[in-house]
Structure 1
Amino acid sequence: MSVKVFDTQEVQDLLKAASNLNGDTGNARFQQIVHRLLGDLFKAIDDLDITPDEVWAGVNYLNKLGQDGEAALLAAGVGLEKYLDIRMDAADKAAGLDGGTPRTI
């Protein structure tokens, strides 16, 4: 059974409150990023019908990575580092810089 609640006013209000999007304090860029990421996560929960057990398994996994001091390994493991390299390479190319990335190890 898939329930769709993302577009409800209640969820949209929750997103704004959780990210302090309309707050007078805090970093506006950070608020925008948190709002987007949390919104995308909420939308994925709706679209993929992610269960509470699956959400908590993910939270516990992140907690374990943090406890073990290995959270940064997740960036490489899910391709985030590579994606950032691809973006930086594209920016270099657009700026006329050729010859490969200086970030390659």
Structure 2
Amino acid sequence: MTRHVLFSFLGKNRYIPCYYVFRRKKASYSRFVQTAIYEHVNDDAHLEVVIFATKGAIAANWHDNGKQTDHSYENEGLQSAFKRIAPEANVKNTDGYSQATHHFRKTS
């Protein structure tokens, strides 16, 4: 069985909700391109989703009602967006910075 994984990055920006369209296929209304990509490429092959994000990005956009450094706002977070749009999705977030830099660390 082939394993399919979608890797993506989550930033700290305040994303605006919209309909993403690709090849005339309109995705569900969402602030996040990750949900639109999932809808477009998922073909019932149990696509796994791995989101790389810093702690600031998780605070701002992973959870509902994200917190920016200078203000808070009411919005659906990426975790809830996936639960609404694709409840079957296997979505994980990880601290992308520490994962990406781990290989450059010297242990001695």
Give the structure-2-normalised TM-score: 0.22
Q: Which has the higher contact order (CA 8 A, sep 6+)?
A: 2
**Structure with more of its chain in strand, by fraction:** 2
Q: Tell me the TM-score normalized by structure 1.
A: 0.22
